[in-house]
Amino acid sequence: MNGIDAAAEFKSLGLVVIGRNEGERLVRCLASVRSAPHRVYVDSGSTDGSIENATREGVAIVELQVPPNFTAARARNAGLMKLLTDHPGLEFVQTVDGDCEIDKDWLRAGLAALQAEPGVAAVFGRLRERFPQRSVYNALCDEDWYAAIGETPIVGGNAMFRVSALRQANFYDPSMIAGEEPDLSMRMRKQGWRLHCVDAEMGFHDADIRRFSQWWKRTRRSGHAYAELAYRHPDARDPNWPRTVYSIVFWGALVPLVLAVALILSWEESRYWWLIVGLVFFPWSLHILRISLRKRHAGSSAKLASASGALLTIGKVAQFIGFTEYHRNRFLGRASRLIEHKRPPGN
């Protein structure tokens, strides 16, 4: 598709890319969306040459300053404001994270889906992990991106929105360090809008998680998100965030606490405490097995299913830490800081 054809076909569409130290991932991202004539890149304090890379692509650039704290929500809002100020007639906008690439046919497919359904606020398609074979953590991310085709309760960071729906929902909440997409989704749905997963390829994501410490931070951030979503939407049933929080507290705090106490007492006091240790280990082990079997039944390899069971169970502890961080900051009236699991490429 040449530039003139693209400008005509996508004249009602704008595109916002956000990034922080994405390096070559950002280069691939910007190259994948060249067909969009109205593009904005928002940078959150990168030190890896991201600004220079975006400049070479000829996109409009917004550089966020601190304070306030960097958040993906704040970056997306800044990009949207720039885009809609420069092109006030836009009807649709695609948001893209800088570690993702957009499929060459997605913009056309997303536009067609939104134009065909006036009551739909946002659509997204299939997102796949770029290098799932590089680590078990990447493979788990690849499974996370799965969504059933059709109406869906939430959209993620990569989605195509109807501008009127974004305005009605008052865009993203810039104070949220995680979970801003489900929060926006919930506010849109409460106003009567619907969200759809389209039967089309949307693109690739590059999590680049190769170490346990990275995965731990990413999981901790998800605990922070679940805590805030449950607090903001206590009546939510789809997704049921309060129920998720109960699971985090039970498996991430109560069970490990009982286990730790039982281990200490079994060492110092009485051999009968070993029975309690065994009783605590049993439901934990059963929980790991249940997750592993569910993943295996869904088509995961035996190795990945086993890793999923162990990591998702252990991850409840990391999520509980994120949960307590959110409520501690809320109680003290402090803004939460970004929890980052990536380093600039090459580090």
SS (H, E, C) 259-287: HHHHHHHHHHCCCCHHHHHHHHHHHHHHH
pLDDT at position 79 is: 97
Check residue 62 and report its DSSP letter: E
Among 55, 22, 24, which residue's Cα sits nearest to residue 40? 55
State the pTM of this model. 0.91
**pLDDT for residue 347:** 47
The torsion of the CA quartet 317, 323, 327, 330, rounded to 10 degrees, works out to 140
DSSP for 150-187, please give it. Answer: EE-S---SSEEEEHHHHHHHTS--TT-SS-HHHHHHHH
Task: Give the pLDDT score at 283.
Answer: 80
pLDDT in tens, the chain (347 residues): 555 566 678 889 999 999 999 999 999 999 999 999 999 999 999 999 999 999 999 999 999 998 888 999 999 999 999 999 999 999 999 999 999 999 999 999 999 999 999 999 999 999 999 999 999 999 999 998 999 999 999 999 999 999 999 999 999 999 999 999 999 999 999 999 999 999 999 999 999 999 999 999 999 999 999 999 999 999 999 999 999 999 999 999 998 888 777 777 766 666 666 666 677 777 888 888 999 999 888 888 888 999 999 999 999 999 999 999 999 999 999 989 888 887 655 54
CB within 8 Å of 166: residues ≥ 6 apart: 80, 93, 121
How far is C-alpha 238 from the geometric centre of its chain's CA atoms? 17
| Residue 296 neighbours by CB distance under 10 Å | 16
pLDDT of residue 47: 92
Query: Could you tell me which of 74, 78, 72, 6 has the C-alpha nearest to residue 38?
Result: 6
* Structural domains present in the chain: 3-210 (3.90.550.10), 212-347 (no CATH)
